[in-house]
């Protein structure tokens, strides 16, 4: 992969989870809508979650209430998150984007470190990803592992430290503004996927792909050549 004529080589590739590793967003939105509209009585706005996706879930809950002009307490947010995650895990039937299996295989063949860096809970990850895939990650950073989550760079910097690689040698795959900001603030190269948002929301990424098939082709033919 090249940017402005500069060829890039990487020592690690870090994936976001929701919308990157797996097609979970429809199930998250359904769970949020259920809890907000049926239990708290105001209209749920899906775009609020899409634009805040990637940050710790308490930040998403806070944004949902603030953008609706609703009062809340921090303890209430924790209750909402617990309820929402319970609905998500009970109804989730998401699929893993199949290209990710091949990308991870290629990365390991080239001796790249592979990581999962997400603002979601570990239980959500374990509920969807098979153990053999989880075991393939050299590092997993989830909600609560660092003091500041996305859009701060802390989660990605923590992943780089644990893998023993320099941030500028890391490729991050994201799908939302908060994650892109975190990756770029960490000094990493960011590829964005249009799985949940259009290009206008992903402009801060170094490169944007329509889908995982395009990303896989780029990785197979250039990044890991």
- Kindly report, residue by residue over 137-165, the tens digit of the pLDDT: 999 999 999 999 999 999 999 999 999 99
- Is it the case that residue 2 has pLDDT exceeding 50? no
CATH of 2-24+94-223, one of 3.40.50.1370, 3.40.50.1000, 2.40.10.10, 2.40.50.140: 3.40.50.1000
Query: Which pLDDT does position 7 carry in this prediction?
Result: 55
Query: What is the per-residue pLDDT across 46-58, written as a single tens digit (0 to 9) for each?
Result: 999 999 999 999 9
Quickly name the fold that domain 25-91 has: DNA polymerase; domain 1 (1.10.150)
Does the pTM surpass 0.85? The reply is yes
CA distance 66 to 202: 23
Q: Where are the domains of the chain?
A: 2-24+94-223, 25-91
Q: In the structure, what pLDDT confidence band is assigned to residue 5 with cuts at 50, 70 and 90?
A: very low
Query: Which pLDDT does position 9 carry in this prediction?
Result: 85
Q: In the structure, what pLDDT confidence band is assigned to residue 224 with cuts at 50, 70 and 90?
A: low
Q: In the structure, what pLDDT confidence band is assigned to residue 78 with cuts at 50, 70 and 90?
A: very high
């Amino acid at each position: 992969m090249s940017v402005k004529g500069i060829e890039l080589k990487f020592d690690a590739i870090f994936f976001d989870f929701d919308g990157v590793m797996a097609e979970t967003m429809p199930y998250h939105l359904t769970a949020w809508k259920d809890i907000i509209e049926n239990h708290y009585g105001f209209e749920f706005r899906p775009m609020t979650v899409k634009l805040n996706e990637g940050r710790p879930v308490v930040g998403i809950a806070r944004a949902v209430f603030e953008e609706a002009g609703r009062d809340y307490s921090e303890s209430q947010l924790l209750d909402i998150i617990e309820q929402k995650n319970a609905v998500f895990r009970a109804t989730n039937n998401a699929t893993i984007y199949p290209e990710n299996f091949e990308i991870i295989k290629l990365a390991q063949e080239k001796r790249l470190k592979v990581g999962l860096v997400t603002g979601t809970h570990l239980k959500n990850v374990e509920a969807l990803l098979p153990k053999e895939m989880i075991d393939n990650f050299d590092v997993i950073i989830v909600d609560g592992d660092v003091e500041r989550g996305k859009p701060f760079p802390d989660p990605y910097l923590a992943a780089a430290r644990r893998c023993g690689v320099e941030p500028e040698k890391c490729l991050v795959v994201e799908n939302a503004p908060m994650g892109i900001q975190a990756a770029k603030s960490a000094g990493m190269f960011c590829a964005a996927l249009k799985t949940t948002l259009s290009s206008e929301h992903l402009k801060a990424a170094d490169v944007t792909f329509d889908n995982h098939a395009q990303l896989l082709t780029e990785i197979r033919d250039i990044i890991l050549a």
